[in-house]
Amino acid sequence: MIDPELHNYLSGINQSLTEIKAKRAPGIWRAFFHGMFGAFGYLVGIVLVVAVVGWFLAITGLIAPFQTQWQRFQDFMTKAENTISATQSVQQGSAPQGSVITLPNGQKAEIIQ
């Protein structure tokens, strides 16, 4: 025979487990929407943090050097693409005689065939 105190303790655990099982009943759709809204909350939070950091950088004037550096990088890449395309056209023999290309360092070079 089971001790009465142990029986009371086990029946309390059983009742708690039954209540927990009853609370989990809403199912898969509730879990799905809970996950979707949680992910949406993370995205909104990330957007807000990026906006606040961008605003802070704009107020302190730290964003202008990044913009000028980015513009320099874009100009450099454009010049490099022009140089590569001119070099390829010269190798293929399709460049007109006496064409001028601009090198990445700003120098101009005349191509003579």
- Could you tell me what percent of the chain has a pLDDT over 90? 30
**Residue type at 111?**
I
The verdict on 82 and 109 lying in the same domain is yes
Q: Is the pLDDT of residue 52 over 90?
A: yes
Q: What is the pTM of this model?
A: 0.42
The verdict on 77 and 108 lying in the same domain is yes
pLDDT in tens, 23-45: 766 678 888 889 999 999 999 99
HEC assignment per residue over 82-108: HHHHHHHHHHHCCCCCCEEEECCCCCE
The verdict on 71 and 101 lying in the same domain is yes
pLDDT in tens, 60-91: 888 888 888 989 999 999 988 888 877 776 56
Dihedrals phi, psi of 2, to nearest 5 degrees: -85, 140
The verdict on 73 and 44 lying in the same domain is no
